[in-house]
Structure 1
Amino acid sequence: MTPALLIASAVIVITLFITVRYAVECYIRPFRRCRACHGKGRRPNRIGHGTRDCRRCRATGLRLRIGRHLWNHARALHRDATR
């Protein structure tokens, strides 16, 4: 094996590993913490010192992962196409 081929195959294997790991992560834990409220469900109010519900996660503190959202869309598309 040439060094260039070895590097290219290593990059492909690492990319494949990361992709499979993310797919498994989306399957096992479809939700992640909301980045806007850091998983608390509440955000500081702009006026005053109180807090308000996070609009991005609807006060749950969780958001659906992008990979899981794409998976759900693909499943719905397949389900609708095969009916």
Structure 2
Amino acid sequence: MTPLILAANDTGAGTGGWVVLAVLAAAGYLIHCVIWPYRPCRKCGGAGRFRSPSGRAWRYCNRCNGKGAQLRAGRRIWTHIKGINRDR
């Protein structure tokens, strides 16, 4: 058989590549969360505050408590995993 026909008949060879790609993406996100644990707040856009309706005063964001940043979900998972290892 020619190589093109063999490649067309092979149906199960591509599934392992997707698994490896998913594992690499998850590891990359975990490393990203370890280096940069905070993300900008979605509500205030990372500013931590809003202008009042009159435009003269500021009020703090309720979601991030005026910090402008929130902890990433991956960092929460990382901290939980580290806490499990410490309990032993």
RMSD: 2.1
Distance 1:5 1:52, change over 3 A: same
- What's the TM-score, normalizing by structure 1? 0.77
Alignment of 1:7 with 2:14, yes or no, is yes
- What's the TM-score, normalizing by structure 2? 0.74
Unaligned runs of 5+ in 2: 1-6
The equivalent residue for 2:37 is 30
State the 1:51 CA deviation.
4.1
* Pairing partner for 1:67 from 68, 74, 80: 74
Unaligned runs of 5+ in 1: none
Letter in 2 for 1:24: I
Higher Rg of the two aligned structures: 2
- Equivalent pairs, count: 80
Give the % identical residues: 30
